[in-house]
Structure formats: C-alpha cells, structure tokens
C-alpha cells in the first residue's frame, strides 16, 4: 500500500498569502494518477488537480500542482476567502487507492 | 449535467446489513470505472472499493474484504455497495465517485452502525 503523508497538518495564513501544501508518498507514484481535492464542511470533495499538475474544469489558475515520484506539491498563489478548507492528495494508480490525511488551511 | 446520487444509508445495528445505491446520469455510465469512498465523522477520506466498466474487475480496501460487495447494473445506470457484518468502525458518509479523472462525486449517504 502506498501511504501518502501530507504536511503540514494545519496551515494558518492570511488572505492574499501563498500556501504551499506537501504530499509525500511511501513509494513512487505515477504522476498520471496523483490528484488534489478541496473539501469544505458539509460538502463532497472537489477535484482541483489531476495528473499531478492539470487543473480540473473551472479551477482558478491560482491553484497549481507540481512534483513527481514521491514528492508532490499543491500551491495556492494568493489565498482567497473561499480557499480556506481542507485539502487532500490521492493516488489512484495502485490498489489500494489511498488518500493523504489532509491539510487544513485556516485563517490566521 | 453529470449527477451521482447515493441512497440507502441509515442506522443499523452491529452485524447488520445495508445496500447502498448510486444512481448515475448525464454520462455514459457503462464506460467508466466507479468507486466508493467513505469518510468517518470528522476524519479523512478512505477509498473503499472500485469496479471497472463491465464489472469484471473489482477491488477492495483490506478492512472491508469479505464483508462488502460492489456491483453495478449498466442497464439501470446504478452502482451498488452491499455491506454485511457491519461494525461500528464502518460508520461514515459513503460517496460514490466516477473514475477517470475523479471529477464527479455524489453528495454521500450516511451509514451509522450502532446499537
């Protein structure tokens, strides 16, 4: 099983600041099968990034994904008020599919 | 418009059974892998099971193997999850999601296992 470790657990930032979220895999993940999601309370996860770096439909360009192998990053260039949420990475190339434990981005 | 609508959740005693359904619309259901993902209250996302487009390839997370069965009816555009021998730790919101880019998720159905 590929374990995904997200860091930090919580990120306290102000609107307008840059957020950098990390997802580290216990063994190599094909970039094709690495995704990032945003989840707000009471809502289903929303796909932000697939294939490690491709933005999903309708996702603003302040969200970007990068990385390969075992290290992946989600960057939010300038936080908007609606961006404060929990973010998860996921690998779906190897069974069992796995999610990271999440990073909460909260308002400082 | 792609829609995934889960149903079938509820309160069940430990050892009991439930069958979840996920009704799909707005896309060619028979062309996609489908998945179940769960989220315990206040916790993270856990992938549960997947099934390929014609139902011939299935896999599960270890914690549900032998207790849960995923299936699909492409004529009815519906995905199922039969859950038997339920445990307290199965309590969660269960989502269905469309495979491929994983862009589409339902809103979830809540399963509570408690006496």
Q: Which of B47, B99, B101 lies closest to A99 in CB terms? A: B47
Q: How confident is the model at residue A31 (pLDDT cuts 50, 70, 90)?
A: confident
Q: Which of residues 41-60 of B touch A (CB under 8 A)?
A: 44-47, 50, 59-60
Q: Is residue A51 over pLDDT 90?
A: yes
Find, in chain A, the residue whose alpha carbon is nearest to that of B45: A99
**pLDDT at position A63:** 98
What percent of chain B is modeled with pLDDT above 90?
Answer: 98
Torsion of the alpha carbons at A89, A91, A96 and A102, rounded to the nearest 10: -10
- Mutation for A interface: B35, B45, B49, B92, most A CBs within 10 A: B45
Residue A56 half-sphere exposure toward CB, CA atoms < 13 A: 16
What is residue B107's predicted lDDT score, i.e. its pLDDT?
97
Q: Give the span between the Cα atoms of B30 and B32, in whole angstroms.
A: 6
Q: Is residue B82 scored above 90 in pLDDT? A: yes
pLDDT digits 0-9 by tens, B21-39: 999 999 999 999 999 999 9
d(CA B104, CA B75): 20
The nearest CA of chain A is from the CA of B14 a distance in Å of 25
pLDDT of amino acid B31:
97
List of chain B residues whose C-beta atoms are within 8 Å of the C-beta of residue A45: 45, 95, 105
């Amino acid at each position: 099983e590929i374990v995904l470790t997200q860091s930090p657990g919580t990120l306290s930032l102000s609107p307008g600041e840059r957020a950098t979220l990390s997802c580290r895999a216990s063994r190599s993940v094909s970039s094709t099968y690495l995704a990032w999601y945003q989840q707000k309370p009471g809502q289903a996860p929303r796909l932000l990034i697939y294939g490690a770096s491709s933005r999903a439909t309708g996702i603003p360009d302040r969200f970007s994904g990068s990385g390969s192998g075992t290290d992946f990053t989600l960057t939010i260039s300038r936080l908007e008020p609606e961006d404060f949420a929990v973010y998860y990475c996921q690998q779906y190339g190897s069974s069992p599919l796995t999610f990271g434990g999440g990073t909460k981005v909260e308002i400082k | 418009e792609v829609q995934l609508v889960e149903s079938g959740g509820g309160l069940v005693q430990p050892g009991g059974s439930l069958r979840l359904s996920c009704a799909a619309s707005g896309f060619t259901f028979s062309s996609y892998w489908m998945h179940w993902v769960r989220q315990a209250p206040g916790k993270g996302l856990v992938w549960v099971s997947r099934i390929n487009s014609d139902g011939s390839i299935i896999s599960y997370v270890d914690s549900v193997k032998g207790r849960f069965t995923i299936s699909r009816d492409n004529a009815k555009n519906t995905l199922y999850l039969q859950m038997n021998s339920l445990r307290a730790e199965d309590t969660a919101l269960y989502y269905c999601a469309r495979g491929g880019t994983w862009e589409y998720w339902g809103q979830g159905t809540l399963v509570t296992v408690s006496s």
